[in-house]
Structure 1
Amino acid sequence: MKQTPKDSQTSSRRISRRALLLGTVQLGFMGVLAGRMHYLQVDQADQFRMLAEENRISVRLIPPTRGEIFDRNGIPVAKNEPAYRITMVREDAGDVDVVLDKLAELIPIDPTDIERAKTEMKRSAPFLPVTVAERVSWEDISKVAVNTPSLPGITPEVGLSRAYPLDQDFAHTVGYVGPVSDYDLSKIEDPDPVLMIPRFQIGKIGLENKMEDALRGSAGSRRVEVNAVGRVMRELDRQPGTPGANVQLTLDVMLQNYVQNRLAGESAAAVVIDTENGDILACASAPSFDPNLFVRGISSSDYNALMKNDHRPLADKSVQGLYPPGSTFKIVVALAGLEAGIIDASTNFYCPGYYEVANRRFHCWKYSGHGMLDVVGGLQHSCDVFFYELGSRVGIERISAMAERMGIGVKHDLPLSAVATGLAPTKEWKRANQNKDWLIGDTINASIGQGYVLASPLQLAVMAARLSTGRVVTPRVVRAVDGEDQPSGLGESLGIAESSLRAVRQGMFEVSNNRRGTAYGARIIAEDMRLAGKTGTSQVRNITAAERAAGVTKNQDLPWNRRDHALFVDFAPFEDPKVAVAVVVEHGSGGSSVAAPIARDITLQALCKGDPPLDAYPAKDRDWVAQQQERLRALRPQIDLDAKGRA
């Protein structure tokens, strides 16, 4: 049908409106697009430029230099030394197996190291270096350097590695480092990023572990330019990290070495404390081990040998070991009785050789008995019956309270692994832990350091130090951190009457200096160095009534692990105490025959700061002491005097 002029005008007007509307929409869209482009390209230009830069620039961590550890005289006991290693980049190597085979032909490499490196390369990005061999000799590094054209991807490097120059002497106290493990990371709530660096080493046990944060320092960083796949193209700048703090110990290298070697052949521990400030001068556990083996990666055969040794070389018996303190605990019972007013220095008890309570007979170590004794005589003869009677009158609550006052049943705050708390039992403790009531027999056993009572060699040394000074001597093993002195361990007064302390000290003096004392054979005869001590022998097995009737089996006739523990504590000189010593010899049989001579020798060595004169010993001992001194001198470390004084 043919349109009329009117229809054509109407249609034209409609098209014009639609064109105008469409044009308006298009212009609006273009305006929005232009505005968005202006926002992105002009307003947000700096932000996007920064994001692009961050995508191109990568920040890499630089491991900090670990702080070193020194003895009290500045002699290094844990240091960093240059160590050569060989690394490999998988993407540069091509055929990894072929290159590693060539490397193994050139220098000696443990097959397990090669397999470990292959495993790490599979887990890591192809452009990251993986360590193939560590602690490589300079000669081997030279061979690799000369042959690098035929060893694609292989790079010889030099870094720092932890070393313990005194080997076994400080293994338990200082500990050792090792690579960070998944287990290590699981124990840390917010791990330091530096711990993610492959094969980064941290403290595993001992002071290396407990002071990890201070020793580690803080990581540095370097900015590098990377390509699209993350490979480093060039280094832009670097910020050095903060080295770890150097730590100076209270321990003395020469005394520690002497104590460690004096304990050789025994399963034993010894602690020496400076009574004037609480400094631990020696803290030894025998047998020991070489911590360098763990840093380098201990072999299965070496580790199994340590684990199977019945003398437990990996355990730090000095602070972790808990033992019935035996008769050394009579010091605590005597003080508890004197302070409670149950006895005074003139009170006497009669010992017929046994003590009867609740239709049970508790025997004295001397079958025929000691007769009438006061507290000084009770300590001198180590009479069990005297302390059975005293302990039953004092009661376990006051005994335990005095034990804690003297440092037993208390966890001393030291940066060492698994410091034991020990046990000064009470009635409530037994109800809570064994759901049983406390019995009078429990108190009798506790009165001579048996039953539930447990103490570590460290706690026994603290007890002797506190008795000798009358003050709350607190042990410390760190003397300074980065040159800043740590608080002294000499505390306030114990609050124990001087008359009580004097009576117990006199009893200990008689133990070592009276012909009838239990440790007279291990005395010091030099007037200015005489010691006051207390022997202890703690049972590790029950003696039945039948065995007692037939005759108690002698320790030497028993298997080693069923013999009694031997203990001895002392302080010296008696008139002006400088050191306190505790020695525990596992299954050593007798405190007077085994532990006391060791403690006497250690005490003299500490007082003289070296080999004491032979005339300090009884005449009968001088020949074998001279031989012993000569033997132990040969085992002393050769100290690099130029390395001293850096702590």
Structure 2
Amino acid sequence: MFDRRLKIVLIVLAAALLVIVARLVDLQVLHAGDYRTQADAVLLRPAQPLPFVRGRILDRFGAVLAADQPCWQVAVDYDAIVEEARREPVRTVPPLWIRLSAFRGESMDVLHQRARDIAARVENWADRVSAAAGYPVPIREQRMPHPILTALDDQMQVAARERFAATPSAHVTDGTVRVYHSSPSLPHIVGQLGAVGPDDLMNDPASDDPLSRYEPIESRGVSGVEYAAERLLRGRRGRIQQSRNGRTMEDIKPLSGRDVTLTIRMDLQERLYELLDERIPQLCPHPAGGSVVVLDVESREILALVSYPGYDANLFRRLYSDLRNDVRFEPLRFRPVANVYHPGSIVKPMTCLAGLASGVINTESTFHCDGYYLENVRDRYRCWESTVTGQRKAHGDVTATSALRGSCNIFMYHLGDAVGVERLCRSFEWAGLGHLAGTGLREERFGINPTPEWLALYRQAPLSPGDARNYAIGQGELVVSPLQAANLFAVYASGIWKPTQLIRGLGEPRALRLPIHADAWRAVREGMFQVTNDTEGTAYVTAHWANERFALCGKTGSATTPPKPTHYRIDYRNANGNSQSVALPAALKRDAVDAFRERFPSAEFDAEKDVVVESLFPPAGTQSDEKYAHAWFGGYLQRLDTSGRPDWNTPPRFAFVVLVEFGGSGGHVSGPIARDIAQMLFDLLLGELATQTVNGGQPS
């Protein structure tokens, strides 16, 4: 009985063993290849991101202003970058970084700062990921090399492979570089890319999409159109994932960013920059900088937006220190949109329109000018003084038209008093003053339209009798950007306010027809015609443009301004308690303080008492209250009829403004430049000028 049971158990065990052996033969011999394939499919390689190509920036005719181009780069392992970022300045520089510095002549300070920036960005992101997870989490960027030398061409990449062949932590890889048009007329418009920062990662609108969201090692637009059109220009990363045997398990193609077309005409933009580069040193006693803006009156598209001086955008990082410290010319300033100035006499047409629209005056009303507004006060509220004869103007009895022709301050003082601040500022509001011009650029400023509400909030003082007088001649708190001023002249030309456009394809802007009757427009436009076409006009000698088909109409302006600081002296105590001082280049006190703290982090000083202006530009004279003036001219080209008179039924096609900082007289400095601009517009845009239509929206 026992033997029988034992045999049964042995048979069962033998059968089970045969099944196991058979299964092993099936796994290891018969279907080994199939099972190995399935196992490999489960073991995937890490997914690899596929970079997108950022969209191009084009001018209105398709000229490329900015585009990604393939390049080579030298990338360094992250551990080596962290080691360099943490290196104290007194310690010996590792051989790798000496070779990197020598390869293209970049200073060790620049490379050291680059390493610190990369390490800071990656560590910041790693801290955020770990904090969200609740425990330390390594991120991909800590295991990959990062570019240190970029934009290498084919010849340089061959040299780099030879130079760094024996350096295991340096790798020559492919990449892309943003390449800009080299014209110095463009960098402010196109803008720059910069590193993605913590705020970008925290406030990323695409944070839920792993392929669209920002990564800590990426770049994004930080200025100009690169910033304004970031969501259009930026593409979407792709992703590829493979098994260990090379089989593709996922393949998501990258999506390139969209091209962005600007309203700018590159040919006009460059020629206007060259004009400023030639004429400002010739005409201006204290050359510093300037702006030109040209608008299409009907569409308000910006045809030119020139900030002078400029630079080659491709050299921005290499030249940054020099550009930042040039506090006289301030080449980094985007003058047409980021700087605001007193408009001076270029607002006088709007002052007249305010009086005419409100019924305070009519087209025949007169005020008398004997050179002074107040009989017993001769040191203020005066008419202007000729820079040629030195004599103060006394225009006699003047109407709105003749007051504009001669730029009579006394007429404007009387009119400002009669109209009052509220109605005067309301008319400025109609023309867009105190509002953004509509480009979408982050650099754009509102300017100031000093309404009673604004004065109560910011000046915190009641209206004074002189406020309306100052605003009537474009002084006081009233400030505008050159772009706002150009749009003001488009309003003078058409009777319609619209926001300006810099990026095409964003829709038709809204329009506002000003509530001003035709007789008022005709009187004001006649005055602007006489400014340059009547022998008594303030710009006849310098800006009269002889042309059989068109006339230059416009208005000069000289906006008084004090000299600007260029250096600040800071008195401080060093680490040993000794008193010292240093002069730093800066246009603003806060910039000087920031630069000082960066340069002398352990120094002690009082930011209120120990920081004083060291030097000014233009140099101040013997009187501490000496003032200079910015020189304005704004205008448009008006079609003439067969008798040589303006055809007021045909709206002008183009309006423009030119500003020369510290130029002095608008007529004598900006006037000749305006005449050159009129000829340039005629030469370049004659075909478009000839297509003007009668009664195209201009009040008659």
Q: When the two structures are superposed, what TM-score results if normalisation uses the length of structure 2? A: 0.70
2:449 pairs with 419, 424, 427, which one? 424
Pick aligned residue for 2:146 from 118, 126, 130: 130
1:311 equivalent in structure 2: 329
Residue 109 of structure 1, CA deviation = 5.9
The SS at the match of 2:241 is strand
Assess if the C-alpha contact under 8 Å between 1:215 and 1:245 holds in 2.
yes
Q: Does 1:241 align with 2:241?
A: no
Identify the structure with the greater helix proportion: 1
Distance 1:279 1:126 in 2: 47
Instruction: Name the SS for the 2:436 alignment partner.
Output: coil
Give the 3 Å change call, closer, same or farther, for CA 55–402 of structure 1 in structure 2: farther
Do 2:181 and 2:313's aligned partners in 1 also have CA atoms closer than 8 Å? no
Matched, 1:520 2:540: yes
- 2:390 equivalent to 1:394: no
- The Cα offsets for residues 481-518 of structure 1, whole Å up to 9 and x where unpaired, read as xxxx3334473532321111111100000001001100
**Residues 540-559 of structure 1 aligned to structure 2 (within 5 Å):** 540-541=561-562
Inter-partner Cα distance in structure 2 for 1:465 and 1:166:
31
Q: Which moved more, 1:572-581 or 1:355-364?
A: 355-364
Q: Post-superposition shift, 1:147?
A: 7.2
The answer as to 2:653 corresponding to 1:578 is yes
Indicate if the aligned counterparts of 2:374 and 2:381 stay in contact, CA closer than 8 A: yes
Q: Residue 439 in 1 paired to residue 464 in 2?
A: yes
Cα contact 1:270–1:581 (8 A) shared by 2: yes
Which residue of structure 2 lines up, in the alignment, with residue 363 of structure 1? Answer: 382
In the alignment, structure 1 residue 349 sits paired with structure 2 residue 367: yes
Structure 2 match to 1:413:
438
CA contact (8 A) 2:56 2:260 kept: yes
Q: State the 1:159 CA deviation.
A: 2.0
Hey, what's the Cα distance between the residues in 2 that align with 1:105 and 1:307?
Answer: 24
* Residue in 1 that maps onto 2:520: 500
Does the 8 Å CA contact 2:42/2:243 hold for their aligned counterparts?
Answer: no
Q: 2:70 maps to which residue?
A: 82
| Alignment partner of 1:597 is 2:672 | yes
Deviation at 1:598, TM superposition (A): 1.4
Shift in alpha-carbon separation, 1:55–1:117, aligned structure 2, 3 A: farther
- Determine whether 1:62 maps to 2:84: no
Q: Offset at 1:223? A: 2.1
Task: Provide, for residues 539-576 of structure 1, a one-character-per-residue CA deviation record: whole Å limited to 9, x for no partner.
Answer: 1149xxxxxxxxxxxx9995999421111110112444
Matched residues in 1 for 2:369 and 2:381: separation? 11
User: Mapping of 1:144-543 within 5 angstroms?
Assistant: 144-145=160-161, 150-182=166-198, 184-185=200-201, 188=204, 191=207, 196-197=214-215, 199-224=217-242, 236-264=249-277, 265=281, 266-294=288-316, 297-298=317-318, 302-356=320-374, 362-366=381-385, 367-479=392-504, 485-489=505-509, 491-521=511-541, 522-541=543-562
Preserved contact between residue 283 and residue 318 of structure 1 (Cα < 8 Å)? yes
Q: For the Cα contact (< 8 Å) 1:277–1:490, is it kept in 2?
A: no
Change (3 A) 1:196 1:449: closer
AA in 1 matched with 2:49: L
Change (3 A) 1:223 1:452: same
Given residue 384 of structure 2, which amino acid in structure 1 is its aligned partner? Answer: W
Distance 1:591 1:101, change over 3 A: closer
Question: % of aligned pairs identical?
Answer: 29
CA contact (8 A) 1:107 1:140 kept: no
1:608 partnered with 2:683: yes
Q: How far, CA to CA, are the matches of 1:234 and 1:90 in structure 2?
A: 30
Q: CA deviation at 1:162?
A: 0.6
Q: Which amino acid aligns with 1:255?
A: L
The amino acid of 1:243's aligned partner reads S
**Runs (5+) with no aligned partner, structure 1:** 1-49, 227-231, 480-484, 543-554, 613-647
Tell me the secondary structure at the aligned position of residue 73 of structure 1.
Answer: coil
Deviations 1:163-183 (A, max 9, x none): 112342211111111222335
Runs of 5+ consecutive residues of structure 2 not aligned to the other structure: 1-37, 85-92, 124-139, 282-287, 386-391, 564-617, 640-646, 688-700
Is this contact kept in 2: 1:113–1:132, CA < 8 A? no
SS of equivalent to 2:522: helix
Change in 2 beyond 3 A, CA 1:178/1:556: closer
SS state at 1:318 partner? helix
Range moving further from structure 2, 168-177 or 354-363: 354-363
Separation of aligned partners in 1, 2:417 and 2:294: 33
1:507–1:136 Cα change, 3 Å: same
The residue identity in structure 2 corresponding to 1:580 is A
Q: Tell me, what secondary structure is at the counterpart of 1:202?
A: strand
AA aligned opposite 1:74: G
Q: Distance in 1 between matches of 2:453 and 2:371?
A: 32
Alpha-carbon contact 1:64-1:217 (below 8 Å) kept: yes
Distance of 1:488 and 1:381 partners within structure 2: 38
Residue 161 of structure 1 aligns to a residue whose secondary structure is strand
C-alpha distance in 2 between matches for 1:54 and 1:498 = 80
Change over 3 Å in CA distance of 1:370–1:147 after alignment to 2: closer
**CA distance in 2 between partners of 1:105 and 1:281 (Å):** 43
Pair 557,150 (structure 1): closer, same or farther in 2 beyond 3 Å: closer
Query: 1:76 offset after TM fit, Å?
Result: 0.6
Deviation at residue 290 of structure 1 after TM alignment:
2.6
Task: Give the letter for the 2:382 counterpart.
Answer: H
Q: Tell me the residue number matched to 1:588.
A: 663
Shift of 1:343: 1.3
Shift of 1:88: 3.9
Q: Tell whether the 8 Å contact from 1:535 to 1:592 is kept in structure 2 after alignment.
A: yes
Question: Distance between the aligned counterparts of 1:69 and 1:499, measured in 2?
Answer: 44
User: Residues 183 and 561 (structure 1 numbering): CA distance in 2 closer, same or farther, change over 3 Å?
Assistant: farther
Asked if structure 1 preserves the Cα contact closer than 8 Å seen for 2:150 and 2:177, the reply is no
Cα distance, 1:236–1:460 mapped onto 2, change above 3 Å:
same
Q: Quick one: structure 1 residues 92 and 406, their matched pair in 2 at CA, closer, same or farther if it must change by over 3 Å?
A: closer
**Pair 371,208 (structure 1): closer, same or farther in 2 beyond 3 Å:** same
Task: Give the distance between the partners of 2:101 and 2:492, measured in 1 at CA.
Answer: 66
How far is 1:605 from its partner? 1.3
Q: Which residue of 1 aligns with 2:628?
A: 563
C-alpha contact (below 8 Å) 2:556/2:632 kept by paired residues? yes
* One-letter amino acid matched to 1:65: V
Residue 539 of structure 1 aligns to a residue whose secondary structure is strand
Deviation at 1:204, TM superposition (A): 1.2
State the distance in 2 between where 1:243 and 1:538 align: 48
Using the TM superposition, name which of 205-214 and 215-224 deviates more: 215-224
Question: Structure 2 vs 1, CA of residues 91 and 349 (structure 1 numbering), >3 Å: closer, same or farther?
Answer: closer
Q: What is the alpha-carbon distance in structure 1 between the residues aligned to residue 256 and residue 492 of structure 2?
A: 42
- Which protein has the larger Cα radius of gyration, Structure 1 or Structure 2? 1
The Cα of 1:422 is off from its aligned counterpart by: 1.5
Equivalenced residues, count: 535
The Cα RMSD (Å) is 3.5
Change (3 A) 1:422 1:98: closer
Contact 2:50/2:254 (8 A) holds in 1: yes
Report what 1:23 is aligned to: none
Q: Which amino acid aligns with 1:100?
A: L
